[in-house]
Amino acid sequence: MAEAISNWKETTQGSPERVGIFESDPIGEQRREEYFIWKKNAPLLYDYIQTTSLLWPSLTVQWFPDLEDIADTDYQQHRLLLGSHSSGFSKCESLNLYGLKTLRQSAKLVDIATDYDPMKNEFIAKRNDWHATKMSLVQKIPHRGEINRARYMPQNPDLIATITNKGHLYMFDRTKKPNNFTEDEIDDSDDFSDIKLEFHQSEGWGLDWNRYKEGELASGSSDGTIALWDVTKFKKNTPDRKSAPTTATGLEIQKRKYKTSTLRPTKTAAAHDYGVNCLEYLYFHQNLIGTVGDDKKLKIFDTRAHMSCVKEGTLSDSPINVVAFSRVNEFGCAIGTETGNISLHDLRHLEAPVRIVNKSHNGALTCASWNPDNGSLLATGSSDGTVKLWDWSCDPSEELRFVHGGHMLGVNDLDWNPHDANMLVSCSDDNSVQVWKPASTIL
């Protein structure tokens, strides 16, 4: 931890030390001051934290479900799924898999001891048996278009779906892709994916797999539509083996052997008047999908009834950006709005919220996720650069449990570690990916 905090000056993209006198400052003086306060107190706030600066920001992040114990050590190996968002500066984007080591929960920890360094104006952590280890790139897959969301299939994590800034959906079998590539090897006419899913006409953010039905995927787009896909029904194109010369490189052979197949949706529906911002399967139902959009509505669609809307309600006076369905209450959900409000709702009675927090963030909500073990704990990310943890079992004045302020720009996505209920990963426009665990004395 001490190593990670001391290295933030050199490694955090967009941090105060990285802004030159001739460069524009996208961060702002207030956010910079908040970052200094957070950094000064970070050793007291976390049991574990590490940050990695990427070449380009990622708009998406997800823990893979696998976990490997590293022999004769107190460490475990995880994997993370990330994407790239170069805003057109790279010839193509990439789907990235990273390896990450963290200390086992059962490992013995030393008591934290801190000293205050008046020169750096911050606390210095001394925790030698919990030092941060950098993420390592495991696989880099070429991708056509900027990746807004990437999610692996729950029944087979080697199959990964993405949705792009143009609404295109792609499916990748990562076991059939190279571990790395260079831009010189990129063919401008290639989609790189195993399957291209064709329907949406504009940028998409809604993407979720059915955890009960293998191969079923739902998507939503800014064109206001949602689509249901069955990737088990696609017909694979015939490999073009004759066109691969014996002198071709590995990637060239790969491109000729695995042609991109196309797939059309099994069902579609017009969902929201001004675009779908978020889409998610209800946790307890294999046939119900919830969507929210700029029309300020939450809608529930039943996939058994030709994607018909079976429930809807106007839940806000501003566009709704995110929805997250409860893992303990089959009728519970949380929504987050463009104006920074969070509200809890009972799907049986959408007329009024169960609870609402106005201005919960100083910016638009961008992501939200329920804790897999603690059903009342919700994490929310915002364009204000913070991640906040809310415990809805507490009284309204005590529901905010923790604020993570380590990002300098907006938070794009977050995810709870499936093997450690108090550990999260978050990614930001400042190019950083941060893995963190609040101190056990706090959470």
> What 3 state SS string does the chain have?
CHHHHHCHHHHCCCCHHHCCCCCCCCCCHHHHHHHHHHHHHHHHHEEEEEEEECCCCCCCEEECCCCEECCCCCEEEEEEEEECCCCCCCCCEEEEEEEEEEECCCCCCCCCEEEEECCCCEEEEECCCCCCCCCEEEEEEEECCCEEEEEEECCEEEEEEEEECCCCEEEEEHHHCCCCCCHHHCCCCCCCCCEEECCCCCCEEEEEECCCCCCEEEEEECCCEEEEEEHHHCCCCCCCCCCCCCCCCHHHHHHHHCCCEEECCCEEEECCCCCEEEEEECCCCCCEEEEEECCCEEEEEEHHHCCEEEEEEECCCCCEEEEEECCCCCCEEEEEECCCCEEEEECCECCCCCEEECCCCCCCEEEEEECCCCCCEEEEEECCCCEEEEECCCCHHHCEEEEECCCCCCEEEEEECCCCCCCEEEEECCCEEEEEEECCCCC
- Give 108-140 pLDDT, tens digit per residue: 554 444 566 666 666 665 544 444 567 999 999
Residue 385 has pLDDT above 90, yes or no: yes
Question: Which one-letter amino acid corresponds to residue 283?
Answer: Y
| All structural domains of the chain | 53-105+116-405 (2.130.10.10)
What is the per-residue pLDDT for 257?
47
User: Sorting pLDDT into bands at 50, 70 and 90, what band is 74?
Assistant: confident
Mean pLDDT for 68-90 is 91
Mean pLDDT for 211-231 is 97
Residue 258 backbone dihedrals phi, psi, to 5 degrees? -120, 85
- Give 394-413 pLDDT, tens digit per residue: 999 899 999 999 999 999 99
Residue 414 has pLDDT above 90, yes or no: yes
CA–CA separation, 314 and 376 (whole Å): 24
- Among 441, 443, 439, residue whose Cα is nearest residue 45: 439
- Among 311, 294, 315, 293, residue whose Cα is nearest residue 302: 311
**Is 106 exposed, middle or buried (CB count within 10 Å of its CB: 0-12, 13-18, 19+)?**
exposed
User: Sorting pLDDT into bands at 50, 70 and 90, what band is 190?
Assistant: confident
Question: Which one-letter amino acid corresponds to residue 168?
Answer: H
CA–CA separation, 305 and 169 (whole Å): 24
- Give 18-32 pLDDT, tens digit per residue: 344 335 677 888 888
* CA atoms lying within 13 Å on the CB side of residue 398: 5
Residue 184 has pLDDT above 80, yes or no: no
Cβ atoms 135, 6 nearer than 8 A: no
What is the per-residue pLDDT for 360?
97
What is the per-residue pLDDT for 235?
61
CA–CA separation, 251 and 254 (whole Å): 5
**Is 391 exposed, middle or buried (CB count within 10 Å of its CB: 0-12, 13-18, 19+)?**
middle
